[in-house]
Structure 1
Amino acid sequence: MDKIMTSTNLSDIYPDIFILEGLPGVEPSHVWISIILLIMYVLAMCGNPLMVLLIVSEPRLHNPMYYFLCSLFLTDIIMLNSIVPKMFCIFWLNQKEISFLSCYIQMFFVHCLSSLESGILMAMAFDRYMAICNPLHYISVLTNTLIMKIVLVLVIRSTVIVIPISWMSSRLPYCQSHIIPHSYCDHMAVAQLSCTDITIDNAYGLTVVLIVIVFDISCIAVSYYLILRAVFRLSTKNAKSKAFGTCSSHICTILMLYTLGLFSFVTYRIGNIAPYIHVIMSNIYLLIPPTLNPIIYGVRTQEIRTAAFHLFTPVAY
């Protein structure tokens, strides 16, 4: 009998499954929200693979800028498929259960890929600095080997700092509720279900966010300060316009990602905001950039437009 009680207690503390609520408090709107989600998912899953295909297949796009872009698009593809299929199960099929292990795997991918995307934007700022401030050494410095090393270091950084988040959360006792008021396994949404003190988990998660954001934004800011200083020294308006044009898409992506991330971060730390606002902001932060990145770069980058034209236009013989 004691063994049965012990087993029951353990299963209550370390449950086999969690329940994802989706958007708590606005369940009647799940169908309409899922339609918007479907449109975004289709756009993103058409745009991002297309961008990767163009970069891989077009020799003129085989340079450092587009290799970093390819990494960004691949990151967005993985991010989307880490969270969106489960959202469809919640909104369409009412299948809200997620296993204990799957929840923490999803948590790892969400936060790891978010950190990786920030790191890639930082690397792209360095790429733009080299292209504008040191154009004669651009290709010789940013070799394929160095690009691979940079991306590998960013992947390792993201993995190393995020693994403790998932690990510490998985060790928490969940003896109160197993219902997660979210549409995916976000770190704080899961940790707040624990029936023990989560100060250490909260502090570590906050530290990771601040380290990544402060370090990456600082590097980006320094890069663009040097870029602007070099651009304003150019003699002609045409040269200045061309230099700004090479950075405009990257600046749009940076502003979009960090602005949405800041709103998501702030709403989670404000106690008097409705729970569904937290969830909506988190979803917007993760879903809008993968949806709009291909559009931003496809519309604003001449080389990508030309590559797309060549890909879809039959060659006359």
Structure 2
Amino acid sequence: MSVSLKGSNCTKFQVSEFILMGFPGMQSWQHWLSIPLAILYLSAIVANILVLITICQDPALQQSMYYFLGILSVVDMGLATPSCPRTIMPKILAIFWFDAKVISLPECFAQIYAIHCFVGMESGIFLCMAFDRYVAICHPLRYTLIVTNALILKATVFMVLRNGLLVIPVPVLAAQRNYCSKNEIEHFLCSNHGVTSLACDDRRPNSIFQLILAWLIMGSDLGLIILTYILILRSVLRLNSAEAASKALSTCSSHLILILFFYTIVVVTTVMHLAEPKGSLIPVLLNVLHSIIPPSLNPIVYALRTKELRAGFQRNFCWR
């Protein structure tokens, strides 16, 4: 139940839970959306598990490119279903099916942490995959010397620690705000913006830190990815053989498709949050789709556009 207090009485009460209202103005029939979201969620989990099994069991896929793809599958499943069972898609489906809109403050802040952490890790893995393609195309003779299993492990650990540690202040700052007036979040998720907009005190520290964090993690990753592909394009244009150039670019096509989709949604969602008025449907819908579309899209794009992965899948799961 929403609490509405004014004046000096505001400081005498504290909100003990939040209510996730879902899509603004669509509460009466939003349960019908559970069907496509549940299908996307199930396909994301199943597809990423199949990719992991295929990479682990097929000796032909024991290469760095597919190791990074396996790590991306783990991160995708984490983005859709983090360790806390009441977060992201399970919580969204619970709202649809059981009207389970109530979420405690600790669970809400944990959800904020999980969302920021896994989105940052996905961005980091995309950077690692771009570096892998750069070395494979621009320095093919030194590829096995540069991209080793030790480097893959170090890069993965660095990305986990980078995002796991840098994101901690986001929920900590959100938890330090004073929530004493409203507790209804017009969203399916506990986003930092949606939660802190309910605070009675100044939320500028949260907004400033989130902006700095976005530039520090997402901005630096995207800048390095763009630089990497500029170097790849320059190297490909120097090739005398059109066939060799086409083959080199085809190895990057799947990665480029996923990068463009991932960062486009991030940028559009951020702009929508700033431009759209509170209670608008579009930012809420984009946030929900950003939590489920990439995990379901990534393995499908790689399976369709990577011949070796398709062959590995057929060897492991198809029988004549």
TM-score by length of 1: 0.93
Query: Which of 175, 179, 187 is matched with 1:174 structurally?
Result: 179
Matched residue SS, 1:28: coil
Which has the larger share of helix? 1
- The offset of 1:16, in angstroms, is 3.0
Unpaired runs of 5+ residues, structure 1, are: 1-7
DSSP-derived class of the 2:181 partner: coil
Quick check: 1:260–1:285 contact (8 Å CA) kept in 2?
A: yes
Distance 1:299 1:18, change over 3 A: same
Offset, 1:10: 8.1
Taking only aligned residues, the RMSD between alpha carbons, in angstroms, comes to 1.6
Match of 1:287 in 2: 292
Structure-2 residue corresponding to 1:164? 169
- 1:137 corresponds to which letter in structure 2? R
Deviation at 1:147, TM superposition (A): 0.5
Q: Does 1:247 align with 2:247?
A: no
Aligned residue for 2:157? 152
Query: Is the contact between residue 186 and residue 279 of structure 2 (CA under 8 Å) also seen in structure 1?
Result: no
Alpha-carbon displacement from aligned partner over 1:167-219 (angstroms, at most 9, x marks no partner): 01011110111111110111111111100011111111111112222211111
**Same amino acid, percent of matched pairs:** 37
Partner of 1:191: 196
Q: How many Å apart are 1:11 and its aligned residue?
A: 8.7
- 1:272 deviates by 3.4
Q: Which amino acid aligns with 1:79?
A: L
Counterpart contact for 1:176–1:193, Cα < 8 Å = yes
Count residues with an aligned counterpart. 307
Moved more, 251-260 or 176-185: 176-185
Which among 215, 236, 239 is matched to residue 234 of structure 1? 239
1:224 aligns with 2:224: no
Q: Is the 8 A contact 1:87 1:183 kept in 2?
A: yes
Residue in structure 2 matched with residue 205 of structure 1 by the alignment: 210
Q: Deviations over 1:135-192 (max 9, x none)?
A: 1111111111111110111111111211000101011110111111110111111111
Q: Secondary structure at the match of 2:81?
A: helix
Comparing 196-205 and 28-37, the one that deviates more: 28-37
The 8 Å contact of residues 31 and 91 in structure 1, kept in 2 or not, is answered as yes
* 1:267–1:273 contact (8 Å) kept in structure 2: no
Q: Kindly tell me: are residues 228 and 16 of structure 1, through their superposed partners in 2, closer, same or farther at Cα, counting changes over 3 Å?
A: same
Tell me the distance in 2 between the aligned counterparts of 1:196 and 1:188.
14
- CA gap of 1:12–1:53, structure 2 versus 1, over 3 A, is farther
Matched, 1:35 2:35: yes
Change over 3 Å in CA distance of 1:205–1:143 after alignment to 2: same
For the pair 1:110 / 2:107, whether they are aligned, the reply is no
Residue 304 of structure 1 corresponds to 309
1:98 to 103, 126, 142: 103
